[in-house]
């Protein structure tokens, strides 16, 4: 992403227009395990904002999958590339946007992992899980950015 300086690896927190919400933007290195640099704060904020354990599980799984996909498949573990993560948590909405510096992909080309002949194949499960666990899942035209939203479920 050209509008983010590579020197700006530290998280930036700012108030949003939504009262009582939390925001964080961070550039992650393209290395395995880098998601930990954002996940701890994200999970803590979901708890602070009163999200249920099942919603927290769903958001955690989807965010982790999106970040790992961006690092491994998007940036191909290239140390010169970053993954930009933007999060917003409020009492009613969790929004996570993950952008990599890779060439992108066509989400429609990901095989349906639930088909009988694909059950033993590893590919496609992450995208299916993100679609299942999040209220909204939207990819950029290029396929190198995913926006995920989860509306709070009523209990």
According to CATH, the topology of domain 12-151 is Heat Shock Protein 90 (3.30.565)
Q: What confidence score (pLDDT) does residue 120 get?
A: 57
Q: How far apart are the first and last CA of the chain?
A: 39
> How many other β-carbons are positioned within 10 Å of the β-carbon of residue 12?
12
pLDDT tens readout for residues 97-145 = 999 999 998 887 766 655 565 455 555 567 888 999 999 999 999 999 9
Here the tokens at position 11 are 């998280």
In angstroms, the CA 144 to CA 13 distance is 24
Sign of CA dihedral 48, 49, 52, 53: negative
Q: What confidence score (pLDDT) does residue 108 get?
A: 77
Nearest to 98 by CA among 131, 143, 145, 136: 145
Residue 30: strand, helix, or coil: coil
In angstroms, the CA 109 to CA 49 distance is 36
Residue 37: strand, helix, or coil: helix
pTM above 0.85, yes or no: no
- Residue 45 pLDDT exceeds 90: yes
Work out the mean pLDDT of the chain and round it to a whole number.
84
């Amino acid at each position: 992403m050209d509008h983010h300086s590579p020197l700006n690896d530290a998280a930036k927190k700012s108030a949003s227009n939504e009262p009582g919400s939390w925001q964080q933007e961070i550039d992650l290195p393209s290395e395995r395990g880098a998601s930990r640099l954002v996940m701890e704060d994200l999970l803590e904020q979901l708890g602070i904002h009163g999200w249920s354990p099942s919603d927290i599980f769903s958001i955690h799984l989807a965010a982790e999958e999106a970040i790992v996909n961006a690092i491994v498949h998007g940036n191909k573990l290239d140390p010169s590339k970053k993954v930009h993560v933007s999060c917003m948590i409020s009492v009613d909405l969790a929004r996570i946007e993950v952008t990599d510096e890779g060439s992108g992909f066509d989400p429609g080309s990901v095989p349906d992992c639930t088909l009988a002949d694909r059950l033993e194949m590893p590919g496609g499960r992450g995208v299916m899980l993100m679609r299942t666990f999040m209220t909204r899942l939207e990819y950029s035209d290029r396929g190198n950015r995913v926006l995920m939203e989860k509306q709070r479920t009523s209990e």
